[in-house]
Amino acid sequence: MMARNLFIPITLGLVITFLIGPFLIIVAASFSAGETLAFPPQGFSLRWIAKVFTVESFRDSFYMSMFLAIGGTLVALILGIPASYALSRYKLPGAETIRTIVSAPIIVPGIIVGLSLLRYIVVPFQVGITLALFLAHTALILPYAVRVVSASLGNLRSDIEEAAVLLGSSRLGAFFRVVLPNIRGGIMSAFILGFVTSFNQVPVSLFLSGPGVRTLPVDMIAYMEIVFDPSVAALSALLAFMSIGIVFIAERFLGFSRYV
Amino acid sequence: MSDANFLTLENLTLAYGDTVAVKDLNLTIGKGELVAFLGPSGCGKTTTMRAIAGLLSPASGHVKLDGADITRVSANKRNVGLMFQSYALFPHLSVYENVAFGLRLKKTPAAELDKRVKAGITSVGLTDYADRKPGELSGGQQQRVALARSMVMEPKVLLLDEPLSNLDARLRLDMRSELQRVQKETGVTMIFVTHDQGEALSLADRIVVMKRGAIEQIGSPEDIYNRPTSAFVADFVGFENIFELSDGRLKTPKGPVELSGPVPIAAGLAWRPRMVTLGSGPFQGTVRGASFAGNSREYLLDTPLGPIKAEVDAALPSHELGAELAFDLPVGAAAQLRTFG
Ligand SMILES: Nc1ncnc2c1ncn2[C@@H]1O[C@H](COP(=O)(O)OP(=O)(O)OP(=O)(O)O)[C@@H](O)[C@H]1O
Ligand SMILES: [Mg+2]
């Protein structure tokens, strides 16, 4: 009985330590006054946080990452929502095969995806790096979009569409009037998941970078190889707070945790 | 077009891919009639409804409504209402918006829309619930919303697929009278599907009994209950002693049996347990089972005709298991079956 009572708090404590611990260390390190990335921080200053905003390559790669995350997620949703709808509503021949193909980018290690894109698409077809990155990110997000949207479609009875049609709506109208509003939460969850996945993506993006074209995480790695100062910690902390902010806003206005 | 053939199904054949669900069905329904489709699971009741609503296009045949052939008219232009067994309310919309859905699509002027929606909600007794979402209502209330949502459209025909089967016994009776009231007040032509013969008998003007994708018998509740024309219908409405006739004699597992009195020309004869005379008659049986049912007692007899079920007033003295009893199957009381099988 005693052992059981202790099991849950101890597990919880460990999980929190290992999940939140590193994050707290990064946050603490970013307020350091010292010259190198170190823990515990030496002194207190905001200079490294200020420095993040002055590094030009960070700014460019941040825009690139934002563009890929938002644009890629939008395109993935535009492709993924109709695909999920078709997969869940019609008995398509080979539906399982389609599902597997769509899910492949989750299962195949990122390094392999990146390398093969570079070796078999970018180099032979002379595809621009930006376009290649965009396609790669869209393909990576698509499985999440299809998964999450399918799950939320699965919870929705299909007879409401017929009800809408009998009340005078067209089939397409019924999709927009009664299907989309009811999977709103799923779409929002897919968007957040897609955004975060894309933004934190390293292995694929690593292969697809060229002069002046880099995603933020790749740029951070490159920076750290040259300069080992706390500005990388500061940037990581800022990004983490940005993610928390997005989830918080989504939760606040859409109650998104209900749908995940 | 006269009011008598307001809705006509002509040689309607309905199929899902290669599976034929309804075959060559003909049916005429008058304006304002309340018709019940009665039949066992899988006989094609829902399928027929879906074809009338336009959700399923027929493999062949025609659907005619109010003087027009609507076979090729799409479902959203037919003005046929359908109440789904699962209600199919829109979860993201309030009761008010659910009811207003169709009128908004028709671009009904705001004042008229508001008036009609409110009247619709009031007529099903949900005035206080107008702002609730379907998820916050009980099953019975959801059903009323579905009814109001269909009825504000003033449909030419209202189809109800097992409207009462998801409700508990008490609500079922309430909803039964609710449907009857709505039908009386609006005079809408209604077709409802049911498994339950009691429901069909008490509600319908006319009952259509279906069997394996075809109509087995059409008639008034009295016709169906008292004068089934086939062994299938007789069995369905509770005739438990059913015999085929050949050369004026009953066919039984133990050979042909002569009946007392003149035998009509028919394919078969059927008796309800209540129609069996117990205590006198030309036949002998042994009591194999007895059960008490309040007002009456039911006996299962082992007889030379096979097993016979008889029901008698519970006030009469009861019989022990194993008792030898005389009984009769009075020809005059029997339902005469035109087809057997
Ligand atoms: N979507 C479908 N695809 C293939 N066959 C179907 C489909 N829907 C129904 N059927 C078949 O058509 C026949 C008639 O089905 P239908 O749903 O009309 O029966 P029903 O009389 O409404 O039965 P129940 O009382 O169980 O609702 C059945 O044999 C059924 O298996
Ligand atoms: Mg059915």
Could you give the residue ranges of the DSSP H alpha helices within chain B? 45-53, 95-105, 110-123, 139-151, 169-186, 197-203, 221-226, 231-236
Distance between CA atoms of residues B47 and B313, nearest Å: 42
Quick one: average pLDDT of A182-206? 88
Separation in Å, CA B66 to CA A106, B1, B110, B337:
57, 7, 29, 35
Token reading at A205: 């993006």
Which superfamily is assigned to B233-337 in CATH?
A: Nucleic acid-binding proteins (2.40.50.140)
Read off the pTM.
Answer: 0.82
pLDDT of residue A89: 83
Domain ranges of chain B: 3-228, 233-337
As a 3-state breakdown, chain B gives helix, strand, coil percent values, each rounded to 5, of 30, 35, 35
pLDDT of residue A246: 82
Given this structure, which CATH class describes domain B3-228?
Answer: alpha beta
Q: Do B89 and A160 touch (CB under 8 A)?
A: yes
Chain B residue with CA closest to A185: the answer is B92
Percent of chain B whose predicted confidence (pLDDT) is above 70: 99
User: Who has greater pLDDT, A101 or B151?
Assistant: B151
Q: Range with the lowest mean pLDDT among A154-163, A185-194, A207-216?
A: A207-216
- pLDDT exceeds 60 at position B96: yes
Pocket flag, ligand 1, residue B16 (CB < 6 Å): yes
- pLDDT exceeds 70 at position A257: no
pLDDT digits (tens, 9 = 90+) for A41-99: 788 888 888 888 888 888 888 999 999 999 999 999 999 999 999 888 887 788 888 87
Quick one: average pLDDT of A5-21? 87
Quick one: average pLDDT of B58-82? 94
pLDDT of residue A254: 64
pLDDT digits (tens, 9 = 90+) for A132-165: 889 889 988 999 899 889 989 988 888 999 999 9
CB-CB neighbours of B333 under 10 Å: 14
- Give the ipTM: 0.84
Q: Mean pLDDT score of chain A, rounded to an integer?
A: 85
Vertex A31 angle, CA A30 and A32, to 5°: 90
Q: How many CB pairs under 8 A join A and B?
A: 59
pLDDT digits (tens, 9 = 90+) for B188-242: 999 999 888 888 999 999 999 999 999 999 999 999 999 999 999 999 999 999 9
Residue of B13, B45, B191, B216 to mutate, ligand 1, most atoms within 8 A of C-beta: B45
- pLDDT exceeds 90 at position B58: yes
> Is B77 near chain A, with CB under 8 Å?
yes
- Smallest CA-to-CA distance from A218 within A228, A230, A204, A229 is with A204
Domain ranges of chain A: 55-258
Token reading at A235: 């940037």
Q: Do A166 and B86 touch (CB under 8 A)?
A: no
- pLDDT exceeds 80 at position B263: yes
Tell me which DSSP letter residue B258 carries: P
Distance between CA atoms of residues B142 and B94, nearest Å: 11
Given this structure, which CATH class describes domain A55-258?
Answer: mainly alpha
Distance between CA atoms of residues A47 and A36, nearest Å: 12
Q: Whose CA is nearest to atom 11 of ligand 1?
A: B21
CB-CB neighbours of A40 under 10 Å: 8
pLDDT of residue A260: 46
Q: Range with the lowest mean pLDDT among A107-111, B189-193, B248-252?
A: A107-111
- pLDDT exceeds 80 at position A210: no
Quick one: average pLDDT of A211-238? 85
Tell me which DSSP letter residue B317 carries: P
Residue B4 binned pLDDT confidence (cut-offs 50, 70, 90): confident
pLDDT digits (tens, 9 = 90+) for B125-173: 899 999 999 999 988 899 999 999 999 999 999 999 988 877 777 778 8
Among the partner-chain residues A163, A167, A182, the one whose CB lies closest to the CB of B105 is A167
Q: How far is B49 from chain A (nearest CA, A)?
A: 12
User: Cβ distance B126 to B57 under 8 Å?
Assistant: no
pLDDT of residue B283: 92
Tell me which DSSP letter residue B4 carries: G
- pLDDT exceeds 90 at position A213: no
User: Cβ distance A85 to A172 under 8 Å?
Assistant: no
Separation of B323 CA from ligand 2 center, angstroms? 45
